[in-house]
Amino acid sequence: PKIIWMKNKMNIQGDPKYRALSEQGVCTLEIRKPSPFDSGVYTCKAVNVLGEASVDCRLEVKGKGMGNVLP
């Protein structure tokens, strides 16, 4: 099938920030240098001659915490 990745219903194919992988029928989307701006609803849509299927996932990216600072 043809795989289409979307963020908030906008096609993100060809965007260098994302890398789409497909191995043994498992599709994965990698986000390079994620930030809170990348939060949203991601959709993976598969299309072939028999029809289409899609799945949505809500992703929340939080900023870095302060944590402990070592001297």
Residue 7: how many CB atoms within 10 A of its CB? 19
Look up the pTM and report it. 0.84
Residue 65 has pLDDT above 80, yes or no: no
pLDDT of 71: 52
Task: Report the C-alpha gap between 44 and 34 in whole angstroms.
Answer: 18
Q: Which residue, chain included where needed, has tokens 């072939």?
A: 48
Taking a C-beta distance cutoff of 8 angstroms, is the pair 60, 41 a contact?
no
Q: What is the pLDDT of residues 18-30, one digit of tens each?
A: 999 999 989 999 9
* Buried-state track 21-43, b at ≥16 Cβ within 10 A, e below 16: eeeeeeeebeeeeeeeebebebb
Please state the rounded mean pLDDT for residues 60-70.
Answer: 67
Taking a C-beta distance cutoff of 8 angstroms, is the pair 30, 17 a contact?
no
Domains of the chain: 2-59 (2.60.40.10)
